[in-house]
Chains A and B, each alone.
Chain A
Amino acid sequence: MLKYTLIPLLPFLSFLINILFGRNFIKDRAHWIAVPAVVGSFLLAVSAFLDVAGGRDINVNIYSWIVSGSFNVSVGFLIDRLSAIMLIVVTSISTLIFIYSIGYMHGDGGYYRFFAYLSLFVFSMLILVMANNFLLMYFGWEAVGLCSYFLIGYWFHKKSAADAGKKAFIVNRFGDFGFGLGVILIFLTFGSMDYMQVFGEAGGIAGQTINLLGYDVNLITLICLLLFCGAVGKSAQVPLHVWLPDAMEGPTPVSALIHAATMVTAGVFMVARCNPLFNLSEVAMNTVAIVGGVTAIFAATIALVQTDIKRVIAYSTVSQLGYMFLALGVGAYSAAIFHLYTHAYFKALLFLGSGSVIHALHDEQNMQKMGGLKKYMPVTYWVFILATLSITGIPFFSGFFSKDEILWRAYLAGDLGKFLWFLGTLAALLTAFYSWRLIYLTFHGKFRGTHEQEEHLHESPPVITVPLMLLAVGAVAAGWVGIPPIFAEHGDKIGEFLAPVLGYPEGEGTHAQEYFVMGASIFVAVAGWIIAYTMYLKKTELPQKLGAAFQPVYKLLFNKYYIDELYSKTIVQPTLKASDKIILGFDTYIIEGIVNGIPNLIGAFSRKLRKIQTGLLSDYGLIMAIGALSIIGVWIFLR
């Protein structure tokens, strides 16, 4: 049991040690604590995975957290097949990112602080994944949000970074509010927070309704939608996706961690974890699927025209997360987790690779000013190619298997499914285009930066490239555990592995249909590649012409559909204005009246009261005796 407790505890200890002793004692040696801790939890996670794979689920309560009447919450861990896979993903990716950070953050003033927050981040995510009840998950959920705030705003002296941190935190708050309500509603409905109990009793309340503002609402649907609210915020789905691209202000390892391992996957994991609830509500499932599908295409279109290398990848993440929700929505939970798992490797690789590029160019993120880096940074170039092959779904790279599984499951899921499949395939075309566009702009052609930058171009040190190469192995091979059954009997190992927790998706199609779906996705992947190749290598004037020809569309996309501006006008500005008014009136008179009034009152009272403080021992004794006497007197005479 200690073994499982140590999985989250090791990063937490690393956090404590670094944050307490970092400034004065550890300083630049912070990684000597953080890296062993996370490696330790990775090894323990592997061991836990083997235990689970051996058929032994772990569900232990290690500490009674809150006991208050019928409200009873424990700190307890549930490690079943789902969380075991998540543990592996989270800890393995984190390990590589930690090692990478040694090189990337070298010489930064807050080195120890960076590793402290990074460790706390991993700890929070592990708690979220391992929790066996909703409240503990909520704890991890909020802690992850908090850490993202710390880390996105890590360079807090830079205003844009501090703002991005705030934005991430506040946008997440919208989602978390819904999630919190969902958790409370779960408790009110089931009288328990424990997964096993809630999921066990979920079937019993199917069809029950609750009166909400005069309307009868299906209880399960309401719970699921509220929970999904949280997932929308945390996993950056439309309309709460705005924080994720801004989160690029943080150091690159943080972006990689947020995108691949510790944060945005939380929403996907949560919905998958609550699959017994979601299965009961068709409305909620359809909502999830539609939001996912729309996000996939929506974010992909934005990524087409962005020029910041990290932003392209960020929108790509949003789009890929859309795929995962699409899969969740059509009931293919294992496909979603499968994609989460393969995506973690190639997305971490893309981010860390772009970090390597940015590092070489001394914090230049604009792709317009890159180009021709292929000959300077061969390792980075080749891992980037592998990651791109994987994300665009070229056959036999891991992204192909997981994306194909999602599209196939969507195709099978009725009329809505067919529509979503179409969206997904279209998004795959866009994905291929913008991914190759990124490669061609960055690594091919002529170098477009300053002369000074060109002289300093160099491949990154091994501490950066080795994690990249390891991740590249994952990006290529991670998908081989989920080969579709039409290629190999029992090839879909991950789906079968997860079936006891998530169920195996229903629906059977003919082989012809399956080949059609697969062919379509291969076709769009290659087509996107060819278009990008033509536009950015052969006829390099074409992008400009197109941009000029479709000026309004281009501007719309480049400005991300003006969503940020829309929110600013409709939500942020009115809130600020209203707050100003409230501060002037309410705050000055009422709040400060109370805040200052109470101390004044107490002060006046105590000036009177202090007179009885004579300082003489026997007076105190006398008062104490009189007090005791009064209590005894009441007891004697009033009974």
Chain B
Amino acid sequence: MVPLSWYIILSAVVFSIGVIGFLTRRNLIMTFMSIELMLNSVNISFVAFSHYLQSMRGQIIVFFVIAVAAAETAIGLAIIIAYYKNNPTIKVDEINLLKG
């Protein structure tokens, strides 16, 4: 039998990889993909919990996470396109409109 903690550790590791991707990549689209990766890693742990606790809740939450992730991607990519129209760059370290 596979212990629950293995799944959680896997999830943590994949999440951290997502964090690294988010923090280091210069390409805005790659940052986005890193976010998707993080969401997926969390989903793994939810499904694992759901299985081991014999509860449906985890799977339901994953369902909602996927729905929200889809919405988030659509909006995020639309923002990228809208931004790209004005400033033709998607380099993260050149986008600093929020600078105070």
Show the binding face of A for B, using Cβ within 8 Å.
610-611, 613-618, 620-622, 625
Chain B neighbourhood of A618, CB < 8 A:
22-24, 31, 92-93
What are some 30 contacts across the A-B interface (CB < 8 A)?
Answer: A610-B100, A611-B100, A613-B98, A613-B99, A613-B100, A614-B96, A614-B99, A615-B95, A615-B96, A615-B97, A615-B99, A615-B100, A616-B92, A616-B95, A616-B96, A617-B28, A617-B31, A617-B92, A617-B95, A618-B22, A618-B23, A618-B31, A618-B92, A618-B93, A620-B98, A621-B22, A621-B23, A622-B23, A625-B19, A625-B23
The 9 closest A-B pairs by CB, nearest first: A615-B99, A615-B96, A613-B100, A610-B100, A615-B98, A617-B92, A618-B23, A621-B22, A616-B96
Chain A binding site: helix, strand, loop or mixed by DSSP?
helix
**What string of 1s and 0s marks CB contacts (under 8 Å) between B77-94 and chain A?**
000000000000000110
Chain B neighbourhood of A614, CB < 8 A:
96, 99
Task: Give the CA-CA distance A382 to B85 in the complex, in Å.
Answer: 81
Closest chain-B Cβ to A626's Cβ sits at a distance in Å of: 10
Task: Give the CA-CA distance A616 to B23 in the complex, in Å.
Answer: 11
Closest chain-B Cβ to A623's Cβ sits at a distance in Å of: 11
Task: Give the CA-CA distance A618 to B92 in the complex, in Å.
Answer: 7
Show the binding face of B for A, using Cβ within 8 Å.
19, 22-24, 28, 31, 92-93, 95-100
Task: Give the CA-CA distance A639 to B94 in the complex, in Å.
Answer: 42
B93, B97, B100: most-surrounded residue (chain A CB, <10 A): B100
Task: Give the CA-CA distance A424 to B28 in the complex, in Å.
Answer: 88
Task: Give the CA-CA distance A621 to B31 in the complex, in Å.
Answer: 11
Task: Give the CA-CA distance A618 to B24 in the complex, in Å.
Answer: 7
Closest chain-A Cβ to B92's Cβ sits at a distance in Å of: 5
Nearest A residue to B20, CB-CB: A625
Chain B neighbourhood of A613, CB < 8 A:
98-100
Closest chain-A Cβ to B81's Cβ sits at a distance in Å of: 17
Closest chain-B Cβ to A353's Cβ sits at a distance in Å of: 67
Task: Give the CA-CA distance A501 to B92 in the complex, in Å.
Answer: 74
Chain B neighbourhood of A610, CB < 8 A:
100
Nearest A residue to B94, CB-CB: A616
Nearest A residue to B26, CB-CB: A618
Task: Give the CA-CA distance A611 to B92 in the complex, in Å.
Answer: 19
A614, A618, A620, A622: most-surrounded residue (chain B CB, <10 A): A618
Task: Give the CA-CA distance A615 to B98 in the complex, in Å.
Answer: 4
Closest chain-B Cβ to A616's Cβ sits at a distance in Å of: 5
Chain A neighbourhood of B92, CB < 8 A:
616-618
Contact B100 A616 (CB under 8 A): no
A611, A614, A617, A620: most-surrounded residue (chain B CB, <10 A): A617
Chain A neighbourhood of B28, CB < 8 A:
617
Closest chain-A Cβ to B8's Cβ sits at a distance in Å of: 14
Task: Give the CA-CA distance A613 to B99 in the complex, in Å.
Answer: 5
Nearest B residue to A612, CB-CB: B100
Closest chain-B Cβ to A621's Cβ sits at a distance in Å of: 5
Chain B neighbourhood of A621, CB < 8 A:
19, 22-23
Closest chain-B Cβ to A602's Cβ sits at a distance in Å of: 14
Nearest A residue to B22, CB-CB: A621
Nearest A residue to B25, CB-CB: A618
Task: Give the CA-CA distance A617 to B89 in the complex, in Å.
Answer: 14
A610, A611, A614: most-surrounded residue (chain B CB, <10 A): A614
Closest chain-B Cβ to A503's Cβ sits at a distance in Å of: 58
Given A621-B23, A625-B19, 17 other A-B residues pairs in contact with their CB atoms under 8 A: A610-B100, A613-B98, A613-B100, A614-B96, A615-B95, A615-B96, A615-B97, A616-B93, A616-B96, A617-B28, A617-B31, A617-B92, A618-B23, A618-B31, A618-B93, A621-B19, A622-B23
Task: Give the CA-CA distance A610 to B100 in the complex, in Å.
Answer: 5
Nearest B residue to A629, CB-CB: B19
A613, A620, A621, A622: most-surrounded residue (chain B CB, <10 A): A621
Closest chain-B Cβ to A636's Cβ sits at a distance in Å of: 13
Nearest A residue to B96, CB-CB: A615
Closest chain-B Cβ to A625's Cβ sits at a distance in Å of: 6
